Amino acid sequence: MNFYESLGENILNELEKRNWTQAMLADKLGISKQVLQKIIKGKKAINAYEIFKISEILGITTDKLLNTVIKNNSESISSIQLLGNFNNEDNFIFLKSIIEEYLSMEVNLSELHL
């Protein structure tokens, strides 16, 4: 089982604990049920912010969502090293601000090239 498959399994387990459907989580994330199904099956890669957003909606820490993934997948350790030492919400808020700034710069650059 790869990193994304394990993550998907953890998401599914958390949904079952809450008696939530995949459609409910998809709605809260603002994505289609089909996209969420791909995430849960490990067929769609997601980034650190998306993992954080899912954990936030589920009301759990990112550590909890990723905990089994890290323990069960030796290959996953290299996959999430890019996250650095993100062990609290403030770190993810900082990461989110970086991502938002990057996306804003991308939009501005694309507008310049029109």
Average pLDDT, the chain: 78
The pLDDT, as a whole number, for residue 71 is: 52
Please, are residues 14 and 90 in contact by the beta-carbon 8 Å criterion?
A: no
Q: Which fold has domain 3-84?
A: 434 Repressor (Amino-terminal Domain) (1.10.260)
Give the mean model confidence (pLDDT) for residues 2-25: 92
Please, which pLDDT band fits residue 62 given cuts at 50, 70 and 90?
confident
- Backbone conformation region of residue 42, classed left if phi is above 0, alpha if psi is from -120 to 50, else beta: left
Query: What are the DSSP calls for 18-79, one per residue?
Result: HT--HHHHHHHHTS-HHHHHHHHTT-S---HHHHHHHHHHHTS-HHHHHHHHHHH-HHHHHH
Buried b (16+ CB within 10 A) or exposed e, 41-67: ebebebebeebbbbbeebeebbeebbe
pLDDT above 50 (res 78): no
Q: pTM (2 decimals)? A: 0.61
Please, which pLDDT band fits residue 79 given cuts at 50, 70 and 90?
very low
**Could you state, in order of their start, the residue ranges of all structural domains in the chain?**
3-84
